[in-house]
Amino acid sequence: MLYEFTVSAERDGCKLGDLLRAEGYSRRLVTSLKRTEGGILRNGEFVRTVDICRAGDRITLTRADSTAPEPNPALKVRLLYENERCAVFDKPAGMPVHESMKHRGDSLANAFAARYEGLTFRSVNRLDRETCGCVICAKDAHAAKVMQRSYEKRYVGVCEGVLEGQGSVRAPIARERESVITRCVRADGKPAETLWRVIERRGDFTLLEFTLLTGRTHQIRVHMAHIGHPLAGDSLYGSGASAEYPRLALCCKEIAFTLPDGETVTCHSGFEI
């Protein structure tokens, strides 16, 4: 099931198609639902998008998903928050958010499928496989669309070398021409800006707080390497694993978002860097 809701008194007499658009569902999604048997139901029965809805009608939207990940109940991921519209997980380092060619059955999507049978996996935000921390997963398409416009993240990470105070990195990020994964700073890249603030010095390393003003792939990792202070444990842009930091030292420590009903929620990761 994607979503189920009751037609309000204010929407009494509206065509179903107009009502769905007002609820935030895209034309593309509605078309997909129309092509699915039982995709759009009113009070449990078939309904067309041109049909009139009345206050109190129960609208159910359902879409089959043949590419759904296999449930893996062996995966244990800490749950930070949950209600009927979303769940926030504390993803561990080493676990990808989505399945890929090299990662089948060990992703957050597989853990979600085991916990919420029948629900489509929709991550509102994404983290690199080696980055730990907060990931919002919407339980329906409408919630995903609303929360994608409202969330804010705060990262903490350890960088090589010593920094003081605070600063920003504003440099365009592009894909390396010969790589699918690696990014770089290049003049023809997309605009990107990262704010950083020192939390504490750790010998030859510095613990920082990061705020992203844009959301580019590997943005923190690329920007800090660009200014000569790559993240500790970063094998892609830095010196790689060390005795002090055997893995990438980056965590999405806090995430705040607004639910479809207007409530604001803030979650904090339990992982330490």
What residue type is assigned to position 14 of the chain?
C
Strand partners, 136: 88
Spell out where the chain has E strands: 3-6, 40-42, 45-46, 58-61, 78-82, 86-91, 122-123, 132-138, 152-160, 166-170, 173-175, 183-185, 193-202, 205-212, 250-258, 264-268
Dihedral angle over CA of 94, 89, 271, 175, nearest 10: 50
What's the CA gap between 214 and 194, in Å, rounded? 7
What's the CA gap between 114 and 177, in Å, rounded? 38
Confirm if 158 and 205 have CB atoms less than 8 A apart: yes
Pairing of strands 250-258, 132-138: parallel
What's the CA gap between 272 and 248, in Å, rounded? 12
Spell out where 64-141 has E strands: 78-82, 86-91, 122-123, 132-138
Question: Does the annotation count 51 as an active-site position?
Answer: no
Determine which one of 12, 57, 90, 128 is catalytic.
128
Give the ranges where 96-215 is alpha helix by DSSP (H): 108-115, 141-148
Active site residues per annotation: 128
